[in-house]
Amino acid sequence: MRHDSPDPTTARWQSADGLSLFYRDFGSPDSATPPILCLPGLTRNSRDFIPFARRLAPRHRVLCPDLRGRGHSDPDPDWRNYQPPTYVADTWRLLDTLGLERVVVVGTSLGGLMAMIMAAQQPGRLAGVVLNDIGPEIAPEGLARIRGYAGRLPPVSDWAAATAQIRGIYGLALPDLDEDAWLDYAHRSYREDEQGQPRLDYDPAIGRAVQDVSGEAPDPWPLFGALTMPTLALRGALSDILSEATLTRMQAEKPELRVAVIPGRGHVPQLDEPTSIAAIDAFLASLLAQGRC
């Protein structure tokens, strides 16, 4: 199934600095439970969450935004704005535009970092958080890998080349995908330009922001400590981003943290694995039982 086909609802909102931003909206706005907000990874977009959202939509409203510079959202003319605090400000504006007081955040990679910032800023608005293969520390080998490809990949001429390129990036993390699944993954990652050629569906200047990290970064562990709401951490067993040592420390710092390790997955689990589905469904059920969802 191609993942850029029309969905039940697609709409736009405007950032504080005037960019037109895009989101997908699944399920009923009248659902009695807080919506689930799905935040994607660094170079990813809302299409990654379409199967996940469709599975949950009968019971929950699910919102899947494209961050600025990704998917159908406007690129930022100033690459320096491609930073988590900017994305978080955009996200609060989306929730305020929709009049949503409280959500459950499912954050993949960068999206999980955004969730931690959101928890530090307005903890009362987060009913729960799912961190998908991300924690307060990023393993150096994974960071080096991301810096090696973000904004640096050469253009491709057709979908076969696009599929080969994306498989070269994520093949070790998703070792069991077949040819059809890789073509599907390529369609989540690229869109055709005016000439009908696939182009990566993010602003290459995002890579410049990744390369430009300078100075001493603040200690990220206090951000993790801001997760006072129920939290589930997923880790791909093969991950080069969330190390076993970091996950162990996360559990020590937050003993009530729910954890699921996803076999046969690196960075990142796709949220369609049986272990992922079981962990997320149990987590949502626990929120409901606590009256939080």
Confidence (pLDDT) at 293: 60
Spatial strand order in the sheet of 231-236: 10-14, 20-26, 62-65, 36-39, 103-108, 126-132, 231-236, 258-262
Q: What is the mean pLDDT of residues 276-292?
A: 92
Tell me which H or E stretch contains 192.
Answer: strand 190-192
Q: What is the mean pLDDT of residues 98-114?
A: 97
- Give the integer Cα–Cα distance in Å for 196 and 108: 30
pTM for this entry: 0.95
Q: Which of 77-81, 84-88, 211-215 has the lowest mean pLDDT?
A: 211-215
Tokens representing 235 are 């880790």
Tell me which H or E stretch contains 107.
Answer: strand 103-108
- How much is the mean pLDDT over the chain? 93
| Residue 214: pLDDT band with limits 50, 70, 90 | low
Q: Which one, of 66, 71, 60, 57, lies nearest residue 8 by Cα?
A: 57
**pLDDT tops 60 at residue 5:** no
Q: What is the mean pLDDT of residues 267-289?
A: 96
DSSP letters for 22-33? EEEEES-TT-SS
**pLDDT tops 50 at residue 6:** no
Tokens representing 285 are 């059920």
**pLDDT tops 70 at residue 1:** no
Confidence (pLDDT) at 2: 46
Q: State whether the Cα torsion 142-145-151-153 is positive or negative.
A: negative
| CATH fold of the domain at 10-142+219-289 | Rossmann fold (3.40.50)
| Residue 8: pLDDT band with limits 50, 70, 90 | low
| Residue 159: pLDDT band with limits 50, 70, 90 | very high
More confident residue, 223 or 216: 223
- Give the integer Cα–Cα distance in Å for 100 and 200: 32
